[in-house]
Amino acid sequence: MIGLIMFGVTLMLLMIGFPVAFTFAGVAVIFGTLTEGVNLFGFMPYRIMSVMQNTILMAVPLFIFMGIVLQKTKLAEQLLEAMGDLFGGMRGGLAVSTILVGSLLAASTGVVGASVIAMGVISLPVMLKHNYKKTLSTGVICASGTLGQIIPPSIVLIILADVLGVPVGDLFRSAVMPSLVLVGSYILYVLIISHLDKEAAPASSNKNSHLSSGAKYWLVAKAVIPPLALIIAVLGSIFSGIATPTESASIGAVGSLFLALAYRRLNWNMVREASIETVKVTSMVFAILVGATAFSMVFTYTGGDTVLEAFIMGLPAKEMSFILISMLIILILGFFIDFIEISLIIVPIFYPIALSLGIDMEWFAILIAMNLQASFLTPPFGFSLFYLKGVAPASIKTTDIYKGVMPFIIIQVSVLISLIVFPSWYGFSGF
């Protein structure tokens, strides 16, 4: 039971506010030394070296850099303005525009915080100005801003591919259909609410209302085609087999610089700031990864994985029981800790059990990614809620944001359940 006690102590320290990487590493050192002795950590240099030599993880800083550069080009502002002109005249049009822009930002930047903040600054005041309900406005922004967790190229999918031993390109390809279903469900919800409640999302005018339909389509095309071309270059090179995910990440990084040049926002200061931010985020991810590696090693040596596996194997309908229990644990943990910790600590514990049960690893990875996306929305520690609250007008209360995200959490859980119950609909074999 030492491994389970170790896990409980780690969760307690994380909830108190200790730094994640140091918590994992510190707990591993203390429990490992007490149970197995200092010699246990003689293996750590080899484990750290394997992390440093992992070519799959090289894609992480490249995609982060791509996202930060595109954020600094004010891509979201141009997309939101163009989409607002196109759909603003229909009920719920601004909300639908926000969801579509969130999808494009997810596929081009993948930076959840940047997407939520950008749309909170640009789209939220416009929706409030046109008398959209606060709850619907905040919910749409938070939900669409988190789509970068499931829509490729996603940092979460790259990490899960490495942990579960699945090719990144295959996982990106597998994520396309669930992503489309989720985005479609968001839009359908907005349209239904707009139809049932006439005051929830009224139709609005825009500054380009005097333009013809052709002129509006041209403005939209100018805003959408450049980022769409970058998305096709990145994902198309992976899906076609022309480039590996790491190579395609470099294509995306270079392409984002060309896009910044096209938008006339490329300068030395911007590149320098983007590079520094990339190093900070990447350092955080890899520091957590090293700490998680030490934690997983000690957890395994103390027999924690054996206890969990024995419990799962003793359940009736063990495959479905395992899926339901693992998803429930990840969903609950998502209320309190970040997706990186869950991906690097919890998923490696589940991996050998899933392998022994013959579960489709691509399916399992997509289930986890969909589940982790919900963690960005779940109170009290959903990061998207904090991002939006930080830039929202004073009239927006925290309770408005909490109420606004609830329907979208229900939608995410519903899509997750459909993935579990009907995997063949999405092209997976399941068990």
- Is 75 inside any structural domain? yes
Per-residue tens of pLDDT for the chain, all 431 residues? 777 788 788 878 877 777 777 888 888 888 888 887 778 777 788 878 877 777 777 888 888 888 888 878 877 777 777 777 777 677 888 888 888 888 888 887 666 666 787 778 778 888 888 888 889 889 998 898 888 888 888 888 888 998 898 988 899 999 999 999 999 999 999 999 988 888 888 876 655 555 566 676 777 777 788 888 888 888 888 888 888 888 888 988 899 899 888 888 889 998 999 899 888 888 887 888 888 888 878 877 777 667 766 776 777 777 888 899 889 888 887 777 777 778 877 888 888 888 888 899 999 999 999 988 887 787 766 777 877 887 788 888 888 888 899 999 999 999 999 999 999 888 887 77
- Confidence (pLDDT) at 319: 83
- Is 320 inside any structural domain? yes
Q: According to the 3-state scheme, what is the secondary structure of the chain?
A: CHHHHHHHHHHHHHHHCCCHHHHHHHHHHHHHHHHCCHHHHHHHHHHHHHHHCCCHHHHHHHHHHHHHHHHHCCHHHHHHHHHHHHHCCCCCHHHHHHHHHHHHHHHHCCCHHHHHHHHHHHHHHHHHHCCCCHHHHHHHHHHHHCHHHCCCCCHHHHHHHHHHCCCHHHHHHHHHHHHHHHHHHHHHHHHHHHHHCCCCCCCCCCCCCCCCHHHHHHHHHHHHHHHHHHHHHHHHHHHCCCCCHHHHHHHHHHHHHHHHHHCCCCCHHHHHHHHHHHHHHHHHHHHHHHHHHHHHHHHHHCCHHHHHHHHHHCCCCHHHHHHHHHHHHHHHHCCCCCHHHHHHHHHHHHHHHHHHCCCCHHHHHHHHHHHHHHHCCCCCCCHHHHHHHHHCCCCCCHHHHHHHHHHHHHHHHHHHHHHHHCHHHHCCCCC
- Confidence (pLDDT) at 34: 84
- Confidence (pLDDT) at 185: 95
- Confidence (pLDDT) at 33: 86
- Is 48 inside any structural domain? no
Domain count, the chain: 1
- Is 323 inside any structural domain? yes
- Confidence (pLDDT) at 88: 64
- Is 369 inside any structural domain? yes
- Is 134 inside any structural domain? yes
Structural domain harbouring 210 = 54-266+303-426
- Is 79 inside any structural domain? yes
- Is 339 inside any structural domain? yes
